[in-house]
Structure 1
Amino acid sequence: MDNVIGVSGSKIAYFSMEIGLKNEMPTYSGGLGILAGDTIKASADLGLPLIGVTLLNKKGYFMQKLDDAGRQTEHQHDWTPSNYMQLLPYKVTVKIQGRDVRIQAWIYNHFSLTDKKVPVIFLDTDIEENNPEDRRITYSLYGGDRKYRLKQEIVLGIGGVRMLNSLGCSINKYHMNEGHSSLLATELLRQNNMDALYVKDHCVFTTHTPIESGHDTFPYDIVLELMNDCVDLEKLKKYGGQHELNMTLLGLNLSNHINGVAKRHREISEKMFPGYKFNAITNGIHSYTWVCPYFRELYDKYLPGWANEPELLVRVRSIPDNEIWDAHQLAKKDLLDYVNSKCGTNMDPDVLTIGFARRITEYKRPTFIFSELKRLRKVNEAGKIQLIFAGKAHPRDIQGKQFIERIFQYKEELKGEIEIAYLENYGMDLAMKIVPGVDIWLNNPKTPLEASGTSGMKAAHNGVVNFSVLDGWWLEGCVEGVTGYAIGPMPHVNKSPEEIEMIELDDLYNKLEYIMIPKYYHRKDEWMCLMNNSIEMIAYYFNSHRMMHRYVTEAYL
């Protein structure tokens, strides 16, 4: 039966609430989904026996619209799955609120440059035999209330395992990418006579966030209302928590391999969940996907084979500096032309350009650079800067939306002094304009709340200089003044959060004014060295090929 989806032999089933594979397929919201997509792509490149399982999200995440004051409104992102994938002739059933909910599956085959394939199964409840409420379960990614979210996680976890069985797939390992899919472990328990040792031996669990709200929890009254016909409550409490169902705890208790996504994140995770021993497999990005066309052309010319062996980027010194600079300037021109046409700005390709693009929420501190306008103006007097922002705030994140409005206010306040642009509807295609096109990639979340972060890795692949707090992956990637610059002190410093923030602000302004601006404008050879080091010392290592080698040897075998 494996030939239905064109695969045979034992597989690794990779479950993720969101998987970002193409900009035109809005099946992702941000970093978690992009990482999942990069995992699929790297697995295809490496010929790994992986199969992805996720939700279809027929209405996408959302399309962001911003008015002249930066007020965000959300719009459905309707798309046509049949333009990209094939509907499979199999259906499975799960029980939700006592009703039979039918699930169908679409298949998308990702092919590598060498024509190796990884299939991805998209689960869909929008079927005529389901009632209207159940048809909407797979409409919107992260939409609705807690009941809606739990319904989605039932479809993903329980429905996903049943669909793989229906397709005849032989699964050796089930990899839960975050707690959204942890109910798959309860289905494996049910199918294997409640043998927890068997289930643990077949499950891998990766957690991605040190933010409490990032770990899904559900009151047991909601669990019973939705799952009364298909759950052993005492067993669920044993593995998922006594007082409420904690999906992370469920995954931790039913997996033999558990890991965080950076070394620092492992430490934080072990503090959040005392008694559990975490491994650390630092995230990476899919190099070929996230290198812009101008750098692809350079790497093809001087480093043949880099796309399938990104470790070859360590030889970047064989590329003449002037060609690297020219490639960057072409990417920068593309970005600034786009920004000027979209925002009516007057961005100058000769001006040092700083980029900040990610999900807009409080802990990421999107307005941090505006904390002291007097000092920011002083920075700009030392050498002109211009700022480009992008990012969506979650529809229910009122504070996140207010941050966007605040950036628009600063844009007006600094008009005529510092050019500032905010690009709406941040997604994969827009990221491929912004990330390679800026000179400095800024990242200043509150520590230790950045589990890993991957946007800075994408920047480094394109010779863009990272300027970030020492959290997540940057704690491993930063060699001060060599691969980029740190904002603030090392972790574990004995200071209050307020003191740390003041140190970070001083660092931000001082390093821009006294180190980075002078290098960019007056010591171009030193700036070129930073760009080369970014590729040689970061890109060669912080990629998804290295990440997947680690998963294979430490988690899958």
Structure 2
Amino acid sequence: MPYSINPNYSKKVAYFSMEFAIDQALKIYSGGLGFLAGSHMRSVYNLKQDTVGIGILWKFGYYDQARNHDQTLNPVWTKKMYSFLEDTGIKFQIDIHDAPVWVKVMYLNPETFKTAPIFLLSTDVPENDHVSKTICYRLYDANESTKLAQYILLGKGGAKLLDELNLEREVYHLNEAHGLPAAFYLLKKFGGDLEKVKERLVFTTHTPEEAGNEKHNVHTCHQMSYFSGLSLEEVKKIEGQDNDQFNHSLCALRMARIANGVSQLHGVVSNEMWGKYPGICEIKAITNAQDFKYWADKPLYNAREEREDEEFDFRKKHLKKRTFRIVADQCGKLFDSKVFTMVWARRFAGYKRADLLLQDKERFRKLLENKKYPVQIIFAGKPYPVDYAAISTFNNLVEESKNHKNMAVLTGYELSLSKSLKKGSDVWLNNPRVPREASGTSGMTASMNASVNLSTDDGWIPEFAKNGVNSFVVPKADYANMSVFDVDNYDMNQLYDILENQILPMYYERPDEWRQVVKNAMDDVKEQFNSDRMADEYYKIMYNN
């Protein structure tokens, strides 16, 4: 390891993830999973843990979020170049689709961005044919065979790299089931001894509903060399299912010695969801967190600690002004730093309901035309490039924004814009359908920048929120016995009621009270939802057991 290890964290770990949001300059991530992995790798460096990251060097990243002439979404793929990655000179072959594929390895030095050492795999080398080169082109490629090949590259390629480096690891940590081929590589290496694999494998699941966990045709997986030569009968025996669908998460739960959900609520949901399957490992809960050092605005915290309210308010207004320059640049709209500003920004997925407030067009219009309590609202986020429903939602928001000078829809939701929006918002709007959000960490980094969460009661929120004290939370309904239409209607009306009757009057009429809510959130998020706590818990709860 390139730095001296803290003896409390001496267990040797390899952390496999499809995406890492390390820095704006390194575009190998799509959303929350990457943000989480990036913070985890920064905390590994902070705590000097013996952990290395294993990922893929995506030639075109996820995609660049551009616009068509009418401002609607236009996904663009641009070749990325990184002078700060080091070529290790290592090249080796792995089997994908019964054919050898060359893999080269790039290295991110810990000192570059203050992270764990990270190895990034690429198949984009002259020795490969065109199809093999394209495996590492686009993160989460829509083609099923390409996607499976990516999982094989991450898992099998990552595990073989550790052997090539002679870098012994006692723990193989899968961040989601994408890297599961590593487990089958190890199974082959240990002569079919599943217990030896279980000794080393730990698994983090991020998906709170069974339908959302990936399944692929087991014959396709077999043909793609996913199982490192294991027969279909042996695979089905391990996975425990006798049908043609291979369930990656279920198999990971049967090959790992321990797993975890990513919030306390998600831990409960995961045990209920998977508990009916025999032979799965224990599922604990370790709540996701974000790196305080990277995300928090230090001058805001300094003013908070020195009880300098005037300086605190001045700093927040200054941050808002900086964010509003981006709004002006992208949308030609001049926002006012004295006006209450609400932001909805995250991955565009149906259950996250980006356009929930727009379901009542008249109430939305009244909110944006309120003269007594003026409001500005910003939307941002990247839909999956072939999720046409999510793209349609994005485009509908763009159309609606043309009717309001105080509504903006921004593109390019990556680390840099995410930071800016958290610094520039007064309220961070989070309204997923309960209980579909496993964790949802964007609200944590919002609180680190003096933005108050307005949220449905899901993911990490039940562990953090004190309604009216450090956040505002929609009261839970009997969601299990309500139709989707009724759930959406209920949540939308509750959000409007909280905004109109609690948040806006407090913001404009009782600024001291509002400032105290902001400060409470900053205090409550600082330790418990800092990823140093999370990285420490992974060692204590998962690795050292």
TM-score by length of 2: 0.93
- SS of equivalent residue, structure 2 residue 108: strand
Q: 1:459 to 1:322 in 2, by over 3 A?
A: same
- Residue 96 of structure 1: CA displacement? 1.5
> Is 1:238–2:243 an aligned residue pair?
no
- Residue 138 of structure 1: CA displacement? 0.9
Partner of 2:506: 519
Counterpart Cα distance in 1 of 2:341 and 2:86: 43
Partner of 1:26: 27
> Is 1:543–2:514 an aligned residue pair?
no
- Residue 496 of structure 1: CA displacement? 4.5
Q: 1:427 to 1:534 in 2, by over 3 A?
A: same
Partner of 1:287: 292
- SS of equivalent residue, structure 2 residue 493: helix
Partner of 2:440: 453
Letter in 2 for 1:111: E
- Per-residue CA deviations over 1:511-533 (Å, capped at 9, x if unaligned) read 11111001111100010011101
Gaps of 5+ in 2: none
Counterpart Cα distance in 1 of 2:460 and 2:385: 28
Partner of 1:171: 169
> Is 1:262–2:266 an aligned residue pair?
no
Counterpart Cα distance in 1 of 2:262 and 2:521: 21
Partner of 1:185: 183
- Per-residue CA deviations over 1:57-108 (Å, capped at 9, x if unaligned) read 1111101112354432211131113x12111122222112221111111110
- Whether contact under 8 Å (1:18, 1:55) holds in the other structure is yes
- SS of equivalent residue, structure 1 residue 333: helix
Question: Matches of residues 387-398 of structure 1 in structure 2 within 5 Å?
Answer: 387-398=377-388
Q: 1:389 to 1:298 in 2, by over 3 A?
A: closer
- Whether contact under 8 Å (2:341, 2:375) holds in the other structure is yes
Counterpart Cα distance in 2 of 1:141 and 1:152: 8
Gaps of 5+ in 1: 303-315
Partner of 1:340: 328
Partner of 2:457: 470
- Per-residue CA deviations over 1:357-382 (Å, capped at 9, x if unaligned) read 11112111111111112223443425
- SS of equivalent residue, structure 1 residue 118: coil
> Is 1:86–2:86 an aligned residue pair?
yes
Counterpart Cα distance in 1 of 2:460 and 2:421: 20
- Whether contact under 8 Å (2:262, 2:288) holds in the other structure is yes
- Whether contact under 8 Å (1:87, 1:106) holds in the other structure is yes
User: Over aligned residues, Cα RMSD in angstroms?
Assistant: 2.2
- Whether contact under 8 Å (1:26, 1:77) holds in the other structure is no
- Residue 317 of structure 1: CA displacement? 4.7
Counterpart Cα distance in 2 of 1:356 and 1:127: 40
- Residue 319 of structure 1: CA displacement? 3.5
- SS of equivalent residue, structure 2 residue 133: helix
- Whether contact under 8 Å (1:452, 1:471) holds in the other structure is yes
> Is 1:362–2:350 an aligned residue pair?
yes
Counterpart Cα distance in 2 of 1:12 and 1:220: 29
- Residue 492 of structure 1: CA displacement? 6.4
- Per-residue CA deviations over 1:479-512 (Å, capped at 9, x if unaligned) read 1001110124267676444443332122111111
Letter in 2 for 1:391: G
Counterpart Cα distance in 2 of 1:127 and 1:317: 53
> Is 1:403–2:393 an aligned residue pair?
yes
- Per-residue CA deviations over 1:534-556 (Å, capped at 9, x if unaligned) read 11112321110111111110001
- Whether contact under 8 Å (2:356, 2:488) holds in the other structure is no
Counterpart Cα distance in 2 of 1:410 and 1:133: 42
- Whether contact under 8 Å (1:51, 1:120) holds in the other structure is yes
Letter in 1 for 2:159: V
Partner of 2:51: 50
- Per-residue CA deviations over 1:399-439 (Å, capped at 9, x if unaligned) read 001001111222234x35xx111111211111111111111
Q: 1:442 to 1:71 in 2, by over 3 A?
A: same
Partner of 2:98: 98
Counterpart Cα distance in 2 of 1:493 and 1:250: 28
- SS of equivalent residue, structure 1 residue 518: helix
- SS of equivalent residue, structure 1 residue 171: coil
Partner of 2:495: 508
Q: Is 367-376 or 235-244 further displaced after alignment? A: 235-244
Question: Matches of residues 125-144 of structure 1 in structure 2 within 5 Å?
Answer: 125-144=123-142
> Is 1:329–2:321 an aligned residue pair?
no
- Residue 297 of structure 1: CA displacement? 3.3
Counterpart Cα distance in 1 of 2:112 and 2:506: 40
Partner of 2:416: 429
Partner of 1:309: none
Alignment coverage as a number of residue pairs: 532
TM-score by length of 1: 0.91
- SS of equivalent residue, structure 1 residue 111: helix
* % identical equivalent positions: 31
